[in-house]
Amino acid sequence: MNRLVRSFVVTMSAILVLALASCSAGGGKVTLTVWDTGLLGKTLEDGKPDMAKSFLDQAAADFTKENPNIEVKVVQQGGDITANNAQFQAASIAKTGPDLRVQYPGGGVLSYGSFFVDLNGKLDATTIESMTGWNTVREGYKPDGKLWAMPYGAGLYFTVFENRAMVSAAGLDPDKFPTTWEEMLANGKTIKAKTGKNGFFVADLEGYVGAWVVGGLLGGELGETVSTDMFNGTTAVNDAAMVKVYKAWADFGASGLTNPDGGTLTNGESTAGFVQEKGAYYIVGSWENGNMQDKFGPTKVSTFFLPMLAGAKNPTAVAGGPQVAVSITNYSKHQDEALLFLKYLARPEVQDKYVALNQTESSNHIKGDPALLTNSFLRTQAEQLKAMKPVVYPFDNVMPQPVIDLFYKMNAAVFLGKVTPQEAADQLEAANKAEIANRK
């Protein structure tokens, strides 16, 4: 190689090295895609991000300000849990899914663990020790299991909201909350008889209301570990207690105390129906605190936890717990950047922003600021929670996703009288046995 050619090669090599160094340092912008189902983000009616109310979109924007080379794109999948999971599974098999996914913890995470990064060793011990809820996102619910996600928020609980004026109109005391499921239904019967209005407003097309009721009442019957016991097969899903609870749900559906179209209305229509006073009681969860504050306020609506069946072994049981988890996909091409965003979300001050903006739950960080709980319903629930025990992590959080999907279908069918309580419990037992066999 002559001197001129060698000089040219050396020069070009130097230029290439500098160019690569420039790309590495100044970098092309990395785009992280996050799939959410309305758990941390919110959209306007036109589908665009609601920047004034959406925590996830605000957090993404603030993160990019700190990290100009990383853009976070939030994609809302929609509200149907089963469809969202099927979409995520298909995309993950094809490795075309998101970099991060926001989902329900428990079965909603564990069922897709093969697509997620194990965060053991990725998140430092200080971060893990400063937050609660890790047991809901570990493989097999084992203390040393693989860590498939980071839990977010202190948890939501199944509640009942009552329209005080409608209860009073029936001659009932709105400050005397029913202490059993049967007493609550008796109140509904009185409301129906004396006012002609529905005792309850229900929208159970997807089977979600049934999930809250069945999962809650099941805790009253079998206690704190009922869901994980069924997950592991130490308690059969078609245990007599499950059939008993499903019988109560079937009787409720046939009682005539709800709106006649309760089995055909979607969950998205539930808040509007209660706001329009189509029922005195609204069985839902503390995620509705914001809507109740905006639409009514504490003088018009009261809140209490879902009451258990009369004679329950655990009459003060309450069902709920962590409802949000964030995972990193193991096929993401930007796992380091995704981990950086996850660590950003874990900061106590960022979690406080979530609490302040949503007012549905407190922070699961030990440094969370309780003064940020300004929603009156949230404060009331926090006070009521002190007298409630045990806290039961519900069936549709814990079980494998295929069982959860079937659970929703059975809830809707039992409510409409299309499936008997025993048939529903037997089908769920068979599905869970198949999942247990698959894990072995």
pLDDT digits (tens, 9 = 90+) for 97-112: 999 999 999 999 999 9
Say how far apart CA 286 and CA 302 lie, in whole Å. Answer: 12
Say how far apart CA 99 and CA 154 lie, in whole Å. Answer: 24
Question: What is the per-residue pLDDT across 300-354, written as a single tens digit (0 to 9) for each?
Answer: 999 999 999 999 999 999 999 999 999 999 999 999 999 999 999 999 999 999 9
pLDDT at 413: 98
- Asked if 219 contacts 226 with a C-beta cutoff of 8 angstroms, the reply is yes
Secondary structure (DSSP) of 205-219: TTSHHHHHHHHHHHH
pLDDT at 92: 98
* Cβ-based neighbour number of residue 116 at 10 Å: 26
Residues with Cβ < 8 Å from 21, sequence gap 6 or more?
none
DSSP 136: G
pLDDT at 27: 56
Dihedral over alpha carbons 361, 362, 363, 365 (to 10 degrees): -130
Question: Of 208, 262, 264, which is closest to residue 274 (Cα–Cα)?
Answer: 262
Q: pTM value?
A: 0.83
DSSP 306: P
Residue ranges and CATH numbers for the domains of the chain are 28-148+324-360 (3.40.190.10), 157-320+384-439 (3.40.190.10)
β-bridge mates for residue 320, sequence order: 157
Amino acid symbol at 115? F
Low-confidence ranges of the chain (pLDDT < 50): 1-26
As a whole number, the mean pLDDT across the chain is 92
Question: What is the per-residue pLDDT across 130-189, written as a single tens digit (0 to 9) for each?
Answer: 999 999 999 999 999 999 999 999 999 999 999 999 999 999 999 999 999 999 999 999
Question: Of 106, 68, 64, which is closest to residue 85 (Cα–Cα)?
Answer: 106
| Angle value at C-alpha 74, between 70 and 77, nearest 5 degrees | 150
- Asked if 421 contacts 258 with a C-beta cutoff of 8 angstroms, the reply is no
3-state secondary structure of 376: helix
Rounded alpha-carbon distances, angstroms, from residue 397 to 65, 155, 320, 402? 35, 12, 9, 12
pLDDT at 28: 81
pLDDT at 14: 36
